[in-house]
Chains A and B, each alone.
Chain A
Amino acid sequence: MAAMTESTLPAQPLPSAEVLEVTPDDLEDSAPGASEDHMLIAAESYEDINVAIDEQYQRGKVGGENEKTDKTENEISQSARELSIDDTRSTTPSDEGRETPKEEVSMETKERSNSVLSNRDRPQHVEEECYSPEWRQRQKHVFILSEAGKPIYTRHGNEDKLVTTMGVMQALVSFVQDNNDNIRFMIAGSHKFVFLNRPPVMLVCVSHSAESTQQLLLHLTYVYNQVISVLTFSQLSKIFERKRNYDLRRLLTGTEKFLDNLINLMDRDPMFLLSAVRCLPLASSVRDIIGQSIAQAKAKDLVFAILVGRDNQLVTVVRMKEHSLHPADLHLVFNLVDASTSFQSAESWTPICLPKFNSNGYLHAHVSYLDEECSACLLLLSADRDVFFELSEARQKIVTRLNKYGCLQAVRESLGKGSYKVAQIGIPDLRHFMYKSKSTAQYTSSELEAPYTEEGERHRLFGMYQYLHHRVHNSARPLKILFHVGSKETMLGWITSGFELYATFGPLVTKPAAINAINKLLRWIKKEEDRLFILNSYTY
């Protein structure tokens, strides 16, 4: 945000009267892309982390019986509120450092900058040196450690070299815990330190990106869920019950790439931020045939069948009638497919835990690509671990049917075409947008075009969306509509009960022109909703 302060007008919400004026009634009633279908669970942004905060708060509360600790807690939440408000106003590096603890950490880290390169169990992976200037300047660090302070994972560098730093993190967390409280975050200069305590592990994010602490907490929640997805919660807690100082890396070998990939995805894919998934644009007739074909190839205890195209685009989900899929679980499935090429060569059979579905048990996934080009990956998730061959047979039937009706061809064509250009909509000044239909937990967005095709600009735009998202979802002061004028673009965020819309315009657009454009855009999405969203799903 620093880059744009020079000519930034103060961002301000439109008066509510004006909001009502510009809201077409028909669109309020049925938001484009809305559906009664419960294929995916409609999830709110931050849903998870609010629970996380509540839990942490509760846990602190239960122990905190004497007045004094209660007071501390109040003080802390008070200052936390201040901080988060501050956070909304500006995230410029000039922001004064607020407290000292960070100093200690960096002193600690400075002392040991002469560590050597060594590779962990990631063969052929070049490790960067911990505590090197490059390492320090990384925009976002993510660490996982056990409650005993043992390193489990670091995004950058080798966690073996971070024993002391993680020890400090553990000390910070337990120091605050001793007062029956929980540390949530610290802000020091442009750096945010965010903590997520999920016994028996804790997660820490250190970042100097534009993201809000809530958004970083969301990242940590996803990273935690990824660990659960590999191990299940029951296995994780059992291990540490048995041996408190267990080295969890032994069980996570080979999983680092999923964690790495997930964190990288979160830095560029809005699906996590929006708590929604993007569908591959397809004619609804084609999508229906795909859904039917998959639903017809039934197999015992098949819970979910998921077909996903390149770049994390959902083609369809077929599910057991009584179960719906949570977008957060689907994101982990996407990450599994996205992070690994090992599914491309053969049919695979792997256990996977979907934390929202059941954090204590595994589903068994038959994973295979449906064509030689590896454009679409089919996952058949069953509760029975002995049905590989049944599912393999079901898959074969699906492939035969999809080929017969030319569906795989249609999927390939849509993937080849990419998303749609914003020019197709015919709204001058509109550069890019993201639209989430709340009831279906799906979103659609136009292709990124110049100037956002360049990596730095794309990153900056994503940062702007994060900022916009943060402002409208700020728990201290949620907004319905936000018109933000920046030096390089004007952004509009709009939240209703049915949708969330984030749009980017040229810098010179006026407020009325933007509102007009948005109404036109909503009508266009409504017209295209059959193609852009999955409105009917099939069940077993």
Chain B
Amino acid sequence: MAGSRVDCKVVLLGKAYGGKTSLVERYLHDRFNAEMPYQNTIGAAFGAKRVEVDGKIVTLGIWDTAGSERYEAMSKIYYRGAKAAVVCYDLTDDGSFERAKFWVKELNDNEEACRVYLCGTKLDLVQENRKARKVDYHMTTDYADEIHAEVIETSSKTGFNVSELFEKVAEGFARDPANRQTVQICSSVQQYPSTSLSKGAENFQVTEQGKSRGGCCS
């Protein structure tokens, strides 16, 4: 295990049935099962993956959260200390973009240091049938400029733009001078081994931020 390791906490937020779990499945395990019936996430699922940026190893610790409204009150548990948030919306559901705006506001209010990535999902459906698109691309980029975020449209079915999205996240994290300190802190904290279940997942570490407390949600 050579090289300095960094843990970048990434949280996925967005309306239920927005494709967050599929996105993570595609990225971590490179799989997509169209036949499998929809399973809503319970609480949040965790997975990790190591990527290399400019010769440095960055470990992304990805929290795939449940979109259901009842978890809203306790969503802080999941996004607290996150370095990046991938706010997902379904390109075929305009309501999901409204929900994305809610999450952006929530993050701006509570986690200033968190970089926001707006991620349109299910691009394949829109490409198949142009009429299915309910969220206008230019509208999203305008909004992204306003909140200093980036927009990326993905398809977990085809894999289009999925690893690009997470590479962007990792680069954004590694190249941010504010995270230099984290690199040093991290090289001294203990390691957590990868799980046997998450194939392709690698070791990750907890940053100091991950351990800080705050908020109330019980």
Residues of A at under 8 Å CB distance from B? 121, 123-124, 230-231, 250-255, 257, 336, 340-351, 361-362, 365, 367-369, 371-372, 385-386, 388-389, 392-393, 395-396, 399
Most buried by A among B38, B42, B192, B218: B42
**Alpha-carbon gap, A388 to B81, bound state (A):** 14
Q: Is the CB of A230 within 8 A of B45?
A: no
Most buried by B among A340, A346, A350, A351: A346
Q: Is the CB of A343 within 8 A of B42?
A: yes
Task: Knowing A253-B16, A361-B218 are in contact, say whether A349-B46 is a contact too (CB < 8 A).
Answer: yes
Q: Is the CB of A392 within 8 A of B40?
A: no
Contacts of A372 in B (CB 8 A): 196-197
Q: Is the CB of B192 within 8 A of A254?
A: no
B130: interface (CB < 8 Å)? no
Q: Is the CB of B74 within 8 A of A385?
A: yes
Q: Is the CB of B213 within 8 A of A399?
A: no
Q: Is the CB of A396 within 8 A of B192?
A: yes
Q: Is the CB of B196 within 8 A of A340?
A: no
**Alpha-carbon gap, A179 to B198, bound state (A):** 60
Could you pull out 9 A-B pairs where Cβ atoms are within 8 angstroms? A253-B40, A257-B40, A340-B42, A348-B46, A349-B45, A372-B196, A372-B197, A385-B218, A393-B193
- Nearest CB of chain A from residue B76's CB, rounded to whole Å: 9
**Alpha-carbon gap, A393 to B206, bound state (A):** 12
Task: Knowing A123-B17, A389-B192 are in contact, say whether A336-B206 is a contact too (CB < 8 A).
Answer: no
Q: Is the CB of B192 within 8 A of A123?
A: no
Q: Is the CB of A230 within 8 A of B70?
A: yes
Most buried by B among A253, A257, A336, A362: A253
Residue of A nearest to B44 (CB): A349
Task: Knowing A254-B68, A372-B197 are in contact, say whether A351-B38 is a contact too (CB < 8 A).
Answer: no
Contacts of A365 in B (CB 8 A): 43
Residue of B nearest to A392 (CB): B192
- Nearest CB of chain B from residue A183's CB, rounded to whole Å: 30
Q: Is the CB of B42 within 8 A of A342?
A: yes
Q: Is the CB of B21 within 8 A of A342?
A: yes
- Nearest CB of chain A from residue B47's CB, rounded to whole Å: 5
Interface residues of B in 74-128 (CB under 8 A from A): 74, 77-78
| Residue from B17, B46, B70 within 8 A of A347 (CB atoms) | B46
**Alpha-carbon gap, A385 to B39, bound state (A):** 24
Interface residues of B in 32-72 (CB under 8 A from A): 37-47, 64, 66-71
Contacts of A392 in B (CB 8 A): 46, 192, 195
Interface residues of B in 165-218 (CB under 8 A from A): 192-193, 195-198, 206, 210-211, 213, 217-218
Q: Is the CB of B38 within 8 A of A346?
A: no
Q: Is the CB of A253 within 8 A of B69?
A: yes
| Residue from B39, B44, B64 within 8 A of A340 (CB atoms) | B39
Q: Is the CB of B39 within 8 A of A342?
A: yes
| Residue from B37, B198, B206 within 8 A of A389 (CB atoms) | B206
**Alpha-carbon gap, A369 to B45, bound state (A):** 12
Contacts of B192 in A (CB 8 A): 389, 392-393, 396
| Residue from B46, B47, B77 within 8 A of A385 (CB atoms) | B77
Residue of B nearest to A360 (CB): B218
- Nearest CB of chain A from residue B67's CB, rounded to whole Å: 8
Interface residues of B in 6-43 (CB under 8 A from A): 16-17, 21, 24-25, 28-29, 37-43
Q: Is the CB of A342 within 8 A of B206?
A: no
**Alpha-carbon gap, A343 to B39, bound state (A):** 10
Contacts of A252 in B (CB 8 A): 70
Q: How many residues of B contact A (CB 8 A)?
A: 40
Most buried by A among B16, B69, B70, B217: B70
Q: Is the CB of B44 within 8 A of A341?
A: no
Residue of A nearest to B70 (CB): A251
**Alpha-carbon gap, A45 to B83, bound state (A):** 51
Q: Is the CB of B218 within 8 A of A362?
A: yes
Residue of B nearest to A234 (CB): B218
- Nearest CB of chain B from residue A279's CB, rounded to whole Å: 25
Task: Knowing A253-B68, A389-B206 are in contact, say whether A348-B42 is a contact too (CB < 8 A).
Answer: yes
Residue of A nearest to B74 (CB): A351
**Alpha-carbon gap, A345 to B38, bound state (A):** 14
Main secondary structure of the interface of A (DSSP, over half): mixed
Contacts of B28 in A (CB 8 A): 346
Residue of A nearest to B214 (CB): A386
Residue of A nearest to B46 (CB): A347
**Alpha-carbon gap, A389 to B190, bound state (A):** 11
**Alpha-carbon gap, A231 to B210, bound state (A):** 26
**Alpha-carbon gap, A503 to B80, bound state (A):** 55
**Alpha-carbon gap, A365 to B44, bound state (A):** 10
**Alpha-carbon gap, A6 to B68, bound state (A):** 53
Most buried by B among A123, A257, A345, A399: A345
- Nearest CB of chain A from residue B165's CB, rounded to whole Å: 18
Q: Is the CB of A346 within 8 A of B197?
A: yes
Residue of A nearest to B29 (CB): A345
Most buried by A among B16, B29, B46: B46
Supplied contacts A124-B38, A251-B70, A351-B71, 7 more A-B pairs, CB within 8 Å: A361-B218, A362-B218, A367-B42, A388-B46, A392-B46, A392-B192, A393-B193
**Alpha-carbon gap, A393 to B195, bound state (A):** 10
**Alpha-carbon gap, A399 to B198, bound state (A):** 14
**Alpha-carbon gap, A362 to B70, bound state (A):** 13
Contacts of B211 in A (CB 8 A): 386
Contacts of A349 in B (CB 8 A): 43-46, 77-78
Q: Is the CB of A350 within 8 A of B196?
A: no
Q: Is the CB of A350 within 8 A of B44?
A: yes
Contacts of A371 in B (CB 8 A): 196
Residue of A nearest to B195 (CB): A347
Q: Is the CB of B70 within 8 A of A342?
A: no
Residue of A nearest to B81 (CB): A386
Q: Is the CB of A345 within 8 A of B197?
A: yes
Contacts of B213 in A (CB 8 A): 386
- Nearest CB of chain A from residue B21's CB, rounded to whole Å: 7
Q: Is the CB of A351 within 8 A of B43?
A: yes
**Alpha-carbon gap, A257 to B195, bound state (A):** 28
Task: Knowing A254-B68, A386-B211 are in contact, say whether A347-B38 is a contact too (CB < 8 A).
Answer: no
- Nearest CB of chain B from residue A439's CB, rounded to whole Å: 33
- Nearest CB of chain B from residue A127's CB, rounded to whole Å: 15
**Alpha-carbon gap, A278 to B16, bound state (A):** 35
- Nearest CB of chain A from residue B216's CB, rounded to whole Å: 10
**Alpha-carbon gap, A348 to B77, bound state (A):** 13
Q: Is the CB of B40 within 8 A of A254?
A: yes
**Alpha-carbon gap, A351 to B64, bound state (A):** 15
Contacts of B70 in A (CB 8 A): 230-231, 251-253, 255
**Alpha-carbon gap, A350 to B16, bound state (A):** 16
Contacts of A336 in B (CB 8 A): 42
Q: Is the CB of B68 within 8 A of A342?
A: no
Q: Is the CB of A350 within 8 A of B42?
A: yes
Residue of B nearest to A365 (CB): B43
